[in-house]
Structure 1
Amino acid sequence: MASPVTVPLSQIPPDETPVSAEPSEPEAHFRPGKDAVRGGALDFLRFLASLLIVVYHYGAESPMRIERFGQVFSRGFLATDFFLMLSGYVLGRAYGDSVLSGRLSTPRFWARRAARVWPGHLMVLGLLALLVLVLNTVGTDAHKPSRFAWDQLPAQALLIHAWGFPSDGWNLPSWSLSALIVCYALFPLFWRTVSKVRHAWLLPLGAAAILGVFEVIARKVFHHALPDLQFQYGVVRALPLFILGVCLARAVDMRWPSETMAKVMLWGGVALLVITQPLDRYALPDPWLFDAPSLLAIALIVLGAGRLPVKRPRKWIEEGAKLSFALFITHIFVGVIYWSAVHELIDTVPIGIGWQWLMWLAGFPVAYGAAWLFHTYIDQPIQDRLQPLLRK
């Protein structure tokens, strides 16, 4: 029987695991006339990034490696960068005033953010462990030491596996949640610090300098570029990108740049991102020659889109973006089940290449459908009960 592992670990570069989009904030109230509403450009970009995440992780199951059709399909790490940056941006816009005014203390803020990600993570991790036990019982080879090592399960359950603890299996993308837990704890300090800066244009420059320092640390200490760090050092990768998002949020909070300049930044960032994607990152003299312009493009897009008001919000875009967290934590679990069944069928019944492509494409609505069910009937009801208790 084919292995039910969704994406073979040997085929996943350590730099290309996605992070969740910042979940919707039922307790955060954006200020009309100053903050962008949901259903706009940032939500649409979040939806696209989540699609790229699933395409990347399910790409190894296609009849032919999809990277052959374009380098963009091997760029899951850019979606990671986008989500880490966007997390800092969203929290800055949603909670900045409450942090500065003292209405939201640091412990309460961290508790609410941890409660937002931990229950769903634990539930999916438990289901995945149960699934591995069942598959092992019926005699499959699901329990590969590199993917489902039981000694790595406690660190992943505690969300500390990106703090230096070896863990490169189970629900692979959850390293980013582990890293964000640290970012959440430090967010009030970050926001108070950037709020002391009086010139908005200094904020992205300062964040770029911090990013450069972390790049040097990654190369000198860990001997890898930031996007190439192992999962267990995810905090080192996440912190500078999260800080960059916080700085962009503060700049927008100071009404910088102008709306005209924001449009130029947005479309300039899109153009720069499109231009850089055909490049082969690993063929360049240094990966930073690809990483730097790509990060610049993403930052320009977040800043430009965040500064512009949403004049015609779209409900379907908002709902698609809300599913991003559920999709992030469930698509590996769903993939284990779906691709196990698909590979077993292909091994048993002769199936043409055309039908194999159709079965591969069907994996995406299956993943989104499962994410919708999880969000609607499990995650959101839990949050509806939990968050009001924490606010009290």
Structure 2
Amino acid sequence: MSSVAPADIPARRGGASLDVLRFLAAAFILLFHFGPSAPLNLRLVSPIFEQGWLATDFFLMLSGFVLSRAYGDRLTRSQMRPTHFFLKRFARLWPSHVVVLLTFAAFIVTATLLGFPPNHGDHYGLNALFAQAFMVHGWGIIGTPTWNIPTWTLSALLVCYGLFAVYARWVHDRPLIILAGVAVAVLAMGHILAETVAKHAFADLPLAWGLLRAIPLFILGNLIERATASLRLSQALFWPLVTFALAGAVGLALLPRHLILDTVILTLLGTVLAVSGAVTFREMPVSQRLGRASFALFLVHSLVGAVWFSLTPKVVAMLDLGFAAQWALWATALLAAMITAFLFDAVVDKPLSAWVSKLSFVRGGV
């Protein structure tokens, strides 16, 4: 057993704050997906619950930011081969993703055999299952949400990882003015391609255009990390800045959608990233657990929702539950998803990740 206490572990700049933000983004995605199943659709309670794209876009930018900070220098200094980097990232995502997907498939098959087929059977086709198993479902191959819906972003991120391994050295040590110019060009190109090719707003491009949405946002996260690599903020300055940026993004998201507003919102989300990555808080076991569990929550909440909300109508009818009791039952679904995520992280994801990382082809690369 290690003799190093948590208080002795050097605090990483952005470590605790980014871990907590990662979990909050996953929690908002959970609310977005569970909201329509509430006794009163949450999207009727407040329009903010219609804006799931905020958390998804933030997650994609955050992924670019964190990967740049963790691996950018090693890739630039040739301390890690691009193929090794990609293998490590694939090995981090794929095993746990497949465990959840197979569990999802077992649930759907079992429920169907017992006479309780899913409400949207077309969402659970064999072709879509194979696409998810090989993590290509976010590449425009599947145009409609299927199976474990949120994982389209993980599929798209695999492409982002491959690209990042190639271009990391070209952006790592660039001057601020160059990074800012590239960021403006990337965001402008994202808007232009979305409007002209996809005929849709860039910020919330649908599944069929997942790569067109994910790649620019991931690159923006890389560029923000590089542009703010030397930035240091005190905790006293961090709180008003992050509050202003978050409140501004949420407030603007409630207004009618417009390209300029979307751009300002993405800029504010980027500001949240920048200031969160520049502040140092003492890392606690709870913040580290939240950071790890965010991935698990992202993976398992759709499965928990599928099971829970398939049973909810039967429980409500059987017990003749009133409106307040139905809300309590729905809130318990949120708690169940959270508990499942922490259990999955501890029992499945963490040991599986540790085992896979020891495999020779992952540890040494190719």
TM-score of the two chains, using structure 2 as the length reference: 0.90
Partner of 2:54: 78
Distance 1:181 1:119 in 2: 14
3-state secondary structure, aligned to 1:307: coil
Count of residue pairs brought into register by the alignment: 352
Distance 2:128 2:268 in 1: 36
Partner of 1:284: none
Q: CA deviation at 1:330?
A: 0.6
Contact 1:71 1:280 in 2 (8 A): no
Structure 1 segment 281-292 matched on structure 2, within 5 A = 281=257, 287-292=258-263
Structure 1 segment 129-278 matched on structure 2, within 5 A = 129-142=105-118, 144-167=120-143, 168-197=145-174, 199-253=175-229, 255-256=230-231, 263=238, 265-278=241-254
Which of the numbers 351, 366, 371 marks the counterpart of 2:321?
A: 351
Contact 1:218 1:229 in 2 (8 A): yes
Matched residue type, 2:279: L
Matched residue type, 1:364: L
Mapped pair 1:323 → 2:299:
no
Q: CA deviation at 1:262?
A: 7.3
Partner of 1:391: 363
Q: CA deviation at 1:313?
A: 2.8
- Structure 2 CA distance for partners of 1:98 and 1:32, relative to 1, 3 Å: farther
Distance 2:172 2:363 in 1: 25
Matched residue type, 1:292: T
Q: Identify the range of structure 1 (378-387 vs 162-171) with the bigger mean alpha-carbon deviation.
A: 162-171
Contact 2:74 2:80 in 1 (8 A): yes
- After superposition, the CA RMSD in angstroms is 2.2
Contact 1:164 1:232 in 2 (8 A): yes
Matched residue type, 1:348: M
Partner of 1:59: 35
Structure 1 segment 71-110 matched on structure 2, within 5 A = 71-110=47-86
Distance 1:306 1:321 in 2: 14
Q: CA deviation at 1:109?
A: 0.4
Matched residue type, 2:249: L
Identity %: 33
The unaligned stretches of length 5 or more in structure 1 are 1-30, 282-286
3-state secondary structure, aligned to 1:161: coil
Matched residue type, 1:164: G
1:261-288 CA-partner distances (Å, limit 9, x unpaired) = 974754442342243243243xxxxx32
- Structure 2 CA distance for partners of 1:95 and 1:153, relative to 1, 3 Å: same
Partner of 1:299: 270
Q: CA deviation at 1:314?
A: 3.4
TM-score of the two chains, using structure 1 as the length reference: 0.84
